[in-house]
Each structure stands twice: as C-alpha cells, then as structure tokens.
Amino acid sequence: MLYIKIGKMEVNSSFLKNKIFFDSPNKNIVPISTSIDKNGNLSIANCSINNLVERYGSPIYLLDEMTLRSSCRAYKRALEKYYPGKSLPIYASKANSSLFMSNLIHSEGLGLDAVSEGELITALNGGVDNKKIVFHGNNKSDREIEFAIRNKIKIVVDNSFDLERLITFSESLNTTQEVMVRFTPGIECHTHEYIKTGSVDSKFGFGIENLEVVFSKIKKSKNVKLVGLHAHIGSQIFELDPHNDLAEIMVKVALEAQKFGHIITELNLGGGLGVKYIPNDDPPTIDEWVETISKALIKACEKNKFKLPTLMCEPGRSIVATSGVTIYKLGAFKEIPGLKTYISVDGGMSDNPRPITYQSNYSACLVSDPLNLNSPKHFTIAGKHCESGDVLFKNILLGNCKTGDLLCVFGTGAYNLSMSSNYNRIPRPASILLNDGNSELIQKRETPEDLLRFDVLPDRFISHSSVS
C-alpha cells in the first residue's frame, strides 16, 4: 500500500499543512506516523483506522508508539546535550497512567511521578524502578504515605500535614525516608487559571516564607532526610523566560536549606511544556525548553557557588498528548436553518472532559476525507451525554459527511483517558497501541455490565432484573 506523509503535502485542512517535527513531537498536531493511504483515508502507523474500528469498536483511543518514544528520547537527548551534571526526566503519569505507559517509560530510562497509591501500584507493576519514582500530592492519605515508605519511594512533602505524618510513619517503621520539599516560587505563566500552580495563591506547596520552619523541623527528625526541592509553575506553558527566574529562586532556597545542615543534591524544576493542539499554538520545542532550564540552572549555580545538583523535570502532556488520537463514529445530524448543523458522535465528555472543563480546543478531520476535499462545511460536533455543554467542536470545517463516518480528534493522549468518567453510565473506550502496521490492546473497553461491579443492593431490597 502506498502511504503519503501528510507533512510533505499541501492540503486544504490547515492543521495538516504543518511540517512534521520528528525530534519534538509536541510541535505537531498529528502523530509523527500519520499518513494518507492510496484511497485518501487517514492512517496512523500504517494501520487502517477503519479496520481498527471494525475490530475494536468505537469510540476508541489510539496511541502511536513512534511518537511516544520520540518524545521520551527528545528529553533524554536534550538533557545530555545541555546539562553537564546528572539529570532525570520524570514522566508525570497523571497525564496517562497505565501498565503499558509505565513499562514504556521504564524502557526509555525515565522516572515517573505519581500522585496516588493507584498510580504508584501501576508504576511498580509496570516495571518502573522505585528509586526513579517520586510521590506527589497535596492531601496524601496515611495509607498512601505508608505504602510509599514501605516501597522506599521518594516523597515530595507538600505541606505541614504531610510532614508531621511522614515523621511519625518513618519513626514507627524505623526507616530513613528521603524527601523533597515542594514550595510555591511566586511565578505565574499565561495559562488557564485552573492549571497555574506556581503562584503564591496555590493549593500546592509551602510558601517561601514558611520554609525555615520546615527545614528546621526536618533537621530535628532522625528518620526524614531532605535531599531535594521541587517547584512547578504551571501547565501548557509556551513561555521560556519564567524558567530563568525559577532556577535562580530554587538555588537560593537550596542555599537556605544548607544553613540548617541539609545537603540538597536534587532540584526538580517541574514540567508544563505546552503542545500544539490547534494551528495557532506555538510551543517551544523540547530541545529549547530543556536548553532553557539547563542553562538557567547552570548559571544560577555558578553565580551562587552551588554544586550542580541532579536536574529533574516532570514532562507529562508533552510526552503523551500528540501520540494519542480518539476515533468517533458520526451519528445524528440536526440542522438549525440559518444557524448551524449539529453532528452527534458516540462519545464526548465522558472520554474527553477537557472541552467542557477547560474550554480546550482540538483539531480533527474525517478519516475518509482528511484533506476536506469534498464540499467542506462548518459543523458543531456534540457528544452523546445529557448535557448541553457536551460539545467537542463549536465550528469545525469538515468535508461532506454522513452518519457512520469516522472522525479523528488529534492530541488526545494526555488527560483524556486519565480524566474520563462513566457519566450517564457510559463505558470507557478501549486503548490501542499502534506500531508499524500492528495494533495491540493496552486497555480493554468497559462494558455496561462492568459498571455494576461495585454496586451493592442491600438485602432488604428485592432485585427485579429484567435484563435478558
């Protein structure tokens, strides 16, 4: 079969005109293996999307292995290129957590950041080295803290409640627990209000003004060892300058910690690098982002005569977003004369809550007419859920289409599956890994029956099941 790379074609769909970046997939809208076959149909990793839907059903999440590995390697390569000291990129697994993702991250030599016992168990069972896992969270449970300590996982202390229980558990278990302290550096980036995490008004981390008390309290503990600091300034960031300020602040805080006898050997500058969802998005490349944080940290260390620490960063979205697409089947059409035409799909806010939550924008095309060659018109794409706000696209240009056609939404690898729900008792889609013409199931499709597994009908109630 003849495949024509989208990146080398002039097309009518503006987002398909973009050059394909192999070294920095976050600059792409489409996965790097995206192509158009001889019949004019969209293809990913030399796999027919029509055949995948016939085999696995719809809606469906697809992940391109080539794009995933390219993203991981871009971070590793850039850190080796720009930072002379030790470094470790740590995948923020909240973006997309599964046994497969954990195993792939491990195979590429990255660490992993988890924020719950569920993410920790997934990482460990997926093969991630416990020494490369960091445990975050602003309200860790006793069970989660004890689990992390017993499995010798580094814990990021987020607040005083965290610290008090860490001290108690490490003493009762008679073990030395390595920790990092998270603080808010007071830096804001131009991102969505809900995903600003570095400003003074944030639920995450200690305020800088409270750190002396924290450092003193840790010093008095016999079992808690402070080895590093963590700060994070936001998500879906397109700016580089704030990271220069962040490095300087972190080194100065590390010097303050030294006054209390702590030897800080690790600085985690967080993640947050943005990705290209729509044509107007213009994020820095992975290389540019890593170069910025590396040079900023080197400069700050030289200025303050501080030994180069292990440089950690926590990419999530920029690792997995572009590798993922979601395939929907078109259903009902509703035309409102003189206003708009609605097309409903067989999924929506339960498999992608970001449009209704964050007003997030995506790019999409018909699988059968990716170039919009067939009488394109504007449509509103609605989900099937019982919410007026369940709209994926308010005004998208698509070629002539009909019920049963397939729609491919790009950039859904991050936060779609991990934030999905069973709203309206709709089962979650399956996830399929694509690589060089092969497809492999990595997460099973839920069934309606699966949704009853944890329901309990009290004995005094009588079940009158009429399901045949």
Q: Pick the closest to residue 302 from 89, 85, 80, 78 (CA basis).
A: 85
SS3 338: coil
Burial class (CB in 10 A: 0-12, 13-18, 19+), 15: buried
In Å, how far from its chain's centre is CA 162? Answer: 25
Please answer whether residues 108 and 76 qualify as being in contact, where contact means their C-beta atoms are separated by less than 8 angstroms. yes
d(CA 161, CA 257): 20
By C-alpha distance, which of 36, 100, 149 is closest to 441?
100
**End-to-end alpha carbon distance in the chain:** 45
CA 157 to chain centroid:
22
Angle, CA of 155, 240 and 293, to the nearest 5°: 50
d(CA 69, CA 301) in angstroms, rounded, equals 31
Residue in 47, 386, 401, 408 annotated catalytic: 386
Query: Cα(169)–Cα(191) distance, rounded to whole angstroms?
Result: 37
Which tokens belong to 289?
Answer: 């982002």
Q: Give strand pairing partners of 432.
A: 62, 441
CA distances (Å), origin 127, targets 75, 132, 263, 287, 428: 20, 11, 30, 27, 25
Closest by Cα among 169, 163, 178, 204 to 262: 178
Cα 83 off chain centre by: 24
386 labelled catalytic: yes
Q: What is the DSSP letter of 335?
A: E
Q: Of 31, 120, 105, give the one whose Cα is nearest residue 75.
A: 105
Residues 122 and 141 sit within 8 Å (Cβ to Cβ): no
State residue 424 phi and psi, 5-degree precision.
65, 20
Contact status, residue 67 vs residue 291, Cβ threshold 8 Å: no
* Cβ–Cβ < 8 Å for 159, 206: yes
Q: Which of 134, 72, 74, 136 is nearest to 107 (CA)?
A: 72
Give me the active site residues, please.
386
